[in-house]
Amino acid sequence: MSTREWLRRLVAFDTTSRNSNLALIETVRDALAAQGVTSELSYAPEGGKANLFATLPAHDGATQGGIVLSGHTDVVPVDGQDWGSDPFSLTEKDGKLYGRGTADMKGFIAASLALVPHFLSLRRTKPLHLAFSYDEEVGCLGAPVMLAALKQRGVRPEGCVVGEPTGMRVVVAHKGMNLYRCRVHGKAAHSSLTTRGCNAIEHAARLICHLRDLADQFKSQGPYDECYDVPFTTLSTNLIAGGIAVNTIPDACEFSYEFRNLPGMSPDGIQRRVEAYIQTELLPRMRRDHDAARVEIEAMPVAVLALEASEREAITRLVRALTGDKGTSKVSYGTEGGQFQNAGIPAVVCGPGHIEQAHRADEYIDIAQLTACEDFLRKLAGSLVD
C-alpha cells in the first residue's frame, strides 16, 4: 500500500482526542501482522485507547537498540471550522492532500507504514521500531504509558525521530508546557455589604496579575534563547469563571494558567514562585476578610516535557547528515520528544508538512513533503545496513 493509500485510510478514522483510536490502531496492528511484524499494545487506563509499538528486527533477529519512528494517532477537533471538503476524507487539489491530520501527523505515520516492506527487505544490522501513541494533542498522555511498558520489557532503542511537521527540517529543541487549574474560595455576601464578604474574583485577579508580573519579568530579564520565535519562558491565564449575579459578592472563582518553559528552566521552580506568593501575600490578605478563605491549585494531566537534543548524540548527527540540514531550529510548540529523551532515548523532531497548516480548517500536506519524507526514511533505514 502506498503512502497516499495509507494516508487516505488513516484520515478516514475520526481519531479526535475525545474519541477512541482503537479502530486505527487495530488496523495498523493487523496490517503489520500480515507482514510478519508483531505489535505490542499499551492501553489507556480506561481501556478505550491504545499505543502501538512494533519492532522490525535486524537481519539476525536482534530487537535491542535501533531507531524509533514516532507519531501520534489523535487529531484536534473540526468543530466550528469551515472546511471546503470532508475533513475525514482525503482530498487532492493542486499538489496538496487535504484532511484532518494530514500534516499533524498522519502523513508521517502513512509514509512509515508504506515503507515497511522496504524496511523488511533490507539486511539491517539494527532494528527499526514504530511507536504510535494516543492523546498527544491533549497533553502527551499516551506516550508515558508506552514508555513505561518499554521499560518494563527492557526495550531500549538508541534514538528516536518524532515525525511532527517541521518541513523536513531538524528541530533539536522545544519548550515544555505546564498547565494548572486554580480555585479561589472566598465568602458570598450581598454586594451592598462588601465588608461581610470575601470577593473571590478580586483576589483571583491579584494572583493573575502576579502571574503576568512573572511573565513580564521573564520577558525583560530572561533567560533567553534567540533560536525560538518567542525566546523566553511564557506564562498566560487563558480561562476564567466566577460569580453568580451582579449584586452578589462571589465566593468562588476558577481559572487556568499555563507556562511554557525553556529547556533547562525548572517548571517546578516556576510553580514554587507562584505558590510562595499565595502563601505569603495572597492568603493573609484574603483571611483578613474571611478566616476560612483558601486557594487550591491542581496540576493538570499534561506531560509535555521540554526537549533539548545534544548535537553529540548519534541520532542528531545522523538525521542532520541525511537531511543536509545544518541549521539550529527550535520551536515553541510541544512534542513527545521530551518524553523519549527523559526516558533515556535521545530524540530529534523531523517530519513532513508545516505546523502552520495544522489544527486549522482545510488542513493539508504538500505531496512533495510526503515524497521528501519517504526519501528520508529510505536513507534512515539504509544507514542501518552493514
User: Is position 158 annotated as part of the catalytic site?
Assistant: no
pTM of the model: 0.90
pLDDT tier at 303 (50, 70, 90 boundaries)? confident
- The active-site residue out of 14, 104, 135, 136 is 136
What pLDDT was estimated at residue 314?
97
Output b/e per residue, 201-225; b: 16+ Cβ within 10 A. Answer: bbbbbebbebbeebbeebeeeeeeb
Could you report the per-residue pLDDT of 16-59, keeping only the tens digit for each? 999 999 999 999 999 999 999 999 999 999 989 999 999 999 99
Q: Is 243 exposed, middle or buried (0-12, 13-18, 19+ CB in 10 A)?
A: middle
* Rounded distance between C-alpha atoms, residue 133 and residue 72, angstroms: 5
User: Is position 311 annotated as part of the catalytic site?
Assistant: no
Contact between 242 and 204 (Cβ < 8 Å): yes
Q: Is 262 exposed, middle or buried (0-12, 13-18, 19+ CB in 10 A)?
A: buried
Take residue 246 and report the three cell numbers written for it. 451582579
Residue 251 has pLDDT above 80, yes or no: yes
What pLDDT was estimated at residue 337?
97
Instruction: List the chain domain ranges.
Output: 3-173+306-382, 176-299
Q: Give the N- to C-terminal CA distance of the chain in Å, as an integer.
A: 27
Could you report the per-residue pLDDT of 171-188, keeping only the tens digit for each? 999 999 999 999 999 999
Residue 238 has pLDDT above 90, yes or no: yes
CATH 3.40.630.10 for domain 3-173+306-382, yes or no, is: yes
Radius of gyration of the chain (CA): 24
**CATH fold of 176-299:** Alpha-Beta Plaits (3.30.70)
- CA 375 vs. chain centroid, Å, equals 25
Contacts of 253 (CB under 8 A, 6+ apart): 183, 184, 186, 200, 201, 203, 204, 240, 241, 242, 243
Could you report the per-residue pLDDT of 136-152, keeping only the tens digit for each? 999 999 999 999 999 99
pLDDT tier at 301 (50, 70, 90 boundaries)? confident
Query: In the chain, helix, strand, coil percent, each to 5?
Result: 35, 25, 40
Contact between 55 and 63 (Cβ < 8 Å): yes
The mean pLDDT value of the chain amounts to 97
- The active-site residue out of 14, 74, 289, 325 is 74
